[in-house]
Amino acid sequence: MFLYLLCLGVVLGIALFRFKRRRMHKLASEIPGSDDELPFIGVAHKFIGNTEDVLNSLQKYSYEAMKKNGILRGGIGHLFYFVVVDPIDSEVILKNCLETDNQHRFFKNAIGNGGIYAPLPIWRRRRKIMVPAFSPKIVDTFMEVFSEQSEKLVSMIAECAGKGDIIMGPFLCRYTLDAICGTTMGIKLNAQNNPDNLFLIALKNVLIIICKRFFHLWLQPEWLYKFFPQYTEEKKYLKEMHDFIDGVIQKKREEINKEKYLKSEVDRNFDLCHYKTRSFLELLIQFSGGENGYTDLELREEIMTLTIAGTDTTGVSIGYTLKLLAMYPKVQDKLYQELLDIFGNSERSIVKEDLSKLKYLERIVKESLRLFPPGPFIIRKISEDIYLPSGRTLPAGFGAIVSAWGMHRDPKYWGPDAEVFDPDRFLPERFNLKHTCSYMPFSSGPRSCVGYQYALMSMKTALSAIVRRYKIMGEESGPVPHIKSKFEIMMKAVDDYKICLEKRISI
């Protein structure tokens, strides 16, 4: 009898839940669903596997959306999402749906209300402060840091060159972390010289735990998560990171106060310190209002956000580009010739003026980001009904998955060779997008990435340093590159960017 009443209660609960959401379901039913949908569970069975399987499913639904007029409905249990690959509809979604999806809550313990995933009222204020900090003039001042760290990267992989396969992922992670710490906090972490650096280890473990919470349902409820060992581990690693950053913030505030006290009359008249390289931490203190601006907690949240967002994103983008250069030796040879034309056989480090001359490298980077964007899917919460230019309505309460992966590979906007690796498609005379959202490796709209110029500079600096000194060996691929990848918060190569390097004789 008890079991009967329990089953009856569950059925009635589901019926009441669906009745309350009947309008939402009616609107959703007007959008084509996936061929994989099953009653009650939707497409949840396609997301049970590992992170490689998860990525394959998301890519599959992106291609399916292309065939169904740019949008596809898919339920995961009681949650409904729309996979969108139409760039015109995507622009409307990214401009109007500014709240991030609830799945991003797992970053909360690490970054609090840091800019990327902050609730809308907090995000608006912080965005106004962050944008000027990433102005091109300020980003240009970081070139020396990128150059120094890229030269260190080249020296660190020297011992591995010519000795078989190299797993580049850890090298690139340490390079990007050192560059970020130098530009964000104004410190030298020296992670490249010390793989056992406590801050580096803590960062890597925090990202692993956050990824597990994304894909393991039993780790998602906060009350249940506290009973698992990951909860204690996360607290430990976050304390190490937070204590470290808090110490840097405190020291920086003391330096700023001391600098103000000792400032000469000349400095006061001409503000000479404006022309020196300043870290993002200093800029955030200044732009937010100095002593009356950001609190130490707010500063820590923004520094944590920049560190977590920047380390993996730039590293995996460099890694994919190296893999592509190994697969396409003719492209690599052409790039090497461009580098020879600029640097000759000299050992001098790259400077800011060199970047504008590296036209072919820029096209390679852009094409790499088109085919393998580090953030291939942007998930937004639909807070109010959205009326799309295509005539469909997305109901409030559901989620939208804007697929940059799909838009970047849609033949409708990129031609029949959309899957082909061709850097020259970014030549000025050929690059003519029908819609700007057709290419969005750093997202689009008000919540797009403010650090895209920073990331591009870091990528080009590291890639030029590597290709000048080493030839990237690999098997020549067909026109369409296939790199086994997985989805761990962002897209990453399964082999962690395994390549083979040979030292160039002419350098």
CATH number of residue 308's parent domain: 1.10.630.10
| Positive or negative: CA dihedral 413, 418, 421, 424 | negative
- Domain presence at residue 178: yes
pLDDT of residue 439: 96
> What is the Cα–Cα distance from 176 to 180, expressed in whole angstroms?
6
Q: Which residues contact 395 (CB under 8 A, 6 or more apart)?
A: 23, 24, 27, 28, 382, 385
- Domain presence at residue 1: no
Q: Which residues contact 49 (CB under 8 A, 6 or more apart)?
A: none
Q: Is the pLDDT of residue 188 over 90?
A: yes
Each residue's pLDDT tens digit, 370-413: 999 999 999 999 999 999 999 999 998 889 999 999 999 999 99
Pair 451, 114: CB distance under 8 Å = no
Pair 430, 113: CB distance under 8 Å = no
> What is the Cα–Cα distance from 405 to 320, expressed in whole angstroms?
14
Confidence of residue 468 (pLDDT cuts 50, 70, 90): very high
Confidence of residue 305 (pLDDT cuts 50, 70, 90): very high
- Domain presence at residue 8: no
For residue 501, what is the enclosing H or E element?
A: strand 498-503
Each residue's pLDDT tens digit, 66-100: 999 999 998 776 778 999 999 999 999 999 998 88
Query: What integer is the mean pLDDT of 472-486?
Result: 91
- Domain presence at residue 355: yes
Q: How far is CA 265 from CA 33, 48, 271, in A?
A: 69, 66, 9
- Domain presence at residue 16: no
What is the tally of structural domains in the chain?
Answer: 1
Q: In whole numbers, what is the pLDDT of the chain averaged over residues? A: 89
- Domain presence at residue 351: yes
Q: Is the pLDDT of residue 447 over 80?
A: yes
What crossing angle do the helices spanning 280-287 and 229-262 adopt, rounded to 10°? 70
- CB-based burial of residue 261 (10 Å sphere; 0-12 exposed, 13-18 middle, 19+ buried)? exposed
pLDDT of residue 36: 83
In the annotated binding site for heme, the residues are: 449
Range of the domain at 465: 32-503
> What is the Cα–Cα distance from 381 to 118, expressed in whole angstroms?
13
HSE-CB for 466 with a 13 A CA cutoff: 30
The highest-confidence range among 375-379, 395-399, 435-439, 458-462, by mean pLDDT, is 458-462
Tell me the CA end-to-end span of the chain in Å, nearest whole number. 83
Q: Per the structure block, which two tokens stand in for 308?
A: 């977590």
pLDDT of residue 41: 77
Each residue's pLDDT tens digit, 193-237: 999 999 999 999 999 999 888 878 788 889 999 999 999 999 999
Q: Which of 41-45, 136-140, 155-159, 261-265 has the lowest mean pLDDT?
A: 261-265
Query: Model pTM?
Result: 0.92
Confidence of residue 275 (pLDDT cuts 50, 70, 90): very low
CB atoms within 10 A of CB 338: 18
In the annotated binding site, the residues are: 449
> What is the Cα–Cα distance from 284 to 294, expressed in whole angstroms?
8
pLDDT of residue 349: 93
Confidence of residue 45 (pLDDT cuts 50, 70, 90): confident
Query: What integer is the mean pLDDT of 349-361?
Result: 96
> What is the Cα–Cα distance from 67 to 306, expressed in whole angstroms?
37
DSSP 449: -
CA-nearest of 342, 241, 349 to 300 is: 241
- Domain presence at residue 60: yes
> What is the Cα–Cα distance from 17 to 21, expressed in whole angstroms?
6
